[in-house]
Amino acid sequence: MAAKEKTDNAFVETIKTIVYALLIAGVFRTLFFQPFWIPSGSMKETLLIGDFLFVNKMAYGYSYASCPSIIAPRFGIEVDAKDICGVFDGDNTRLFGSQPDRGDVVVFRHPVSGRDYIKRLIGLPGDKIQITSGVISINGTPVKLRDDGEFEEAMARQGPQGMRPRCENGAVGEGGICNKSRQIETLPNGVEHAILNIGNQASDNTGIYTVPEGHYFFMGDNRDNSADSRLAQQAGGVGFVPFENLIGRADRIVFSSAGRSMLFFWTWRGDRFFKAIK
């Protein structure tokens, strides 16, 4: 009997250890830093498909969106943040809240789908935003732009989803060089970052967007390949994003892999490890 009791106790202690570890990880993920993989090319070249980063959840305080969503369709798991913290949803406020800065790279919950998105903050509450020939105007003043060569990447499948890049230099065969024009954009508060352009399209010329109070206007740095605030939520974009939907600020890339799996060590991008996000 003593041996069986010892085995039972060891099993119980193992279960306790796993539960405690999960609880600690859950608290850490909810309050401090949330891991985030970049799944698409909408933020190139600032963020590439396969970049892995931690989102600073302390930057803007806490709301229902700070609770983690656990989505694993392969295993039939879909636990939304509202399922856990929905009681705090609806008033567009935050605990220990602080306002984001223009130019921050922010992870937020899509106001309709609830999926996590990452974009750059362009418009603050009350701003009037318009895009004309690809140039952003904020409250009637165009942002500063300067040409900065080209962004080059190989025409190949990227990331676990096997997505292919779009190119400014037309149809490019497998293994060829895909080019996009690069410019440096300077926002009114002095934040500088690279943006990419592929060609003229409808989203390069818009009407005037007036950002409502308590909401924000986001755009991807890969301007012609981003579903963002330029498109209404009903049209597949994100529209204006409420304050309470912000999850946190992306500050630094921790790890990066250009391959279909992070286990393919020969595809790791060593020059992006611990790279600051600007």
User: Which residues have C-beta within 8 Å of that of residue 96, sequence separation ≥ 6?
Assistant: 61, 62
| CATH classification of the domain holding 184 | 2.10.109.10
User: How far from 149 is each of 140, 146, 179, 182, 183, CA to CA, in Å?
Assistant: 27, 10, 10, 6, 7
26 and 69 part of one domain: no
d(Cα 205, Cα 222) in Å, to the nearest integer? 16
User: pLDDT at residue 26 above 70?
Assistant: no
Annotation marks residue 275 as catalytic: no
192 and 157 part of one domain: yes
Query: Can you give the residue range of the structural domain that contains 2?
Result: 1-31
Q: Answer yes or no: are the C-beta atoms of 257 and 273 closer than 8 Å.
A: no
8 and 25 part of one domain: yes
Annotation marks residue 42 as catalytic: yes
16 and 135 part of one domain: no
11 and 71 part of one domain: no
Catalytic residue among 44, 57, 63, 119: 119
Residue with more model confidence, 219 or 84: 219
73 in helix, strand or coil? helix
**Eight-state DSSP code of residue 228:** S
145 and 184 part of one domain: yes
Q: Answer yes or no: are the C-beta atoms of 108 and 246 closer than 8 Å.
A: yes
220 and 100 part of one domain: yes
165 and 141 part of one domain: yes
Residue with more model confidence, 74 or 48: 48
37 and 11 part of one domain: no
Q: Quick one: CA dihedral 83, 90, 28, 249, positive or negative?
A: positive
Catalytic residue among 42, 226, 256, 257: 42
15 and 47 part of one domain: no
Domain count within the chain:
2
6 and 101 part of one domain: no
Confidence band (pLDDT; 50, 70, 90) for 83? low
108 and 20 part of one domain: no
The helix or strand, by DSSP H or E, that contains position 28, with its residue range, turns out to be helix 2-31
pLDDT, tens digit (0-9, with 9 covering 90-100), for 144-166:
999 999 999 999 888 888 888 99
Phi-psi map region of 267: left, alpha, beta (phi>0 left; psi -120 to 50 alpha): alpha
